[in-house]
């Protein structure tokens, strides 16, 4: 566990850099995470995915399966990785402030 200061606010992160208190998420925090996850600038395309993930989580209490992310947003896997080079789970979900996905390893 560690803390980062984002716009004057202390934010607690777990070892993987995911936000510990998802309720504290803000667009500033998303901007901070984006830099960490190799996204140079959050574009409209990025925000579309981020908002989709947040809405999905709010509605269903889980992160959507990757296939569903692609289908619902009309993007291919290649495009998704181009947007989020560290991948949908590590990159996109972190930026969107979702709890760490717990898919199998």
90 binds another protein (CB under 8 A): yes
97 binds another protein (CB under 8 A): no
**Least distance between another protein and beta carbon 103 (Å):** 5
Q: What is the DSSP track for 10-66? A: EEEE-TTS-BS-GGG--HHHHHHHHHHTT-SS--HHHHHHHHHHHHHHHHHSSPPPH
Q: Select 10 or 104, whichever has its Cβ closest to another protein.
A: 104
Strands 2-6 and 9-13: antiparallel
Binders in 14-73 for another protein, by CB under 8 A:
15-16, 18, 20-22, 38, 60-63, 65-67, 70
What backbone torsions phi and psi does residue 4 show, to the nearest 5 degrees?
-125, 150
Contact footprint for another protein (CB under 8 A): 15-16, 18, 20-22, 38, 60-63, 65-67, 70, 77, 81, 85-90, 99-105
């Amino acid at each position: 566990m560690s803390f980062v200061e984002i716009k004057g606010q202390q934010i607690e992160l777990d070892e993987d850099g995911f936000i510990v208190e998802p309720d504290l998420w803000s667009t500033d925090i998303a901007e901070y995470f984006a830099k960490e996850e190799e996204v140079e600038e959050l574009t409209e395309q990025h925000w579309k995915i981020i908002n989709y993930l947040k809405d999905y989580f709010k509605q269903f209490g889980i992160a959507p399966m990757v296939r569903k992310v692609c289908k619902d947003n009309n993007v291919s896997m290649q495009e998704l990785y181009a947007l989020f080079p560290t991948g949908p789970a590590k990159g996109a979900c972190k930026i969107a402030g979702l709890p760490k996905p717990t898919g199998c390893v």
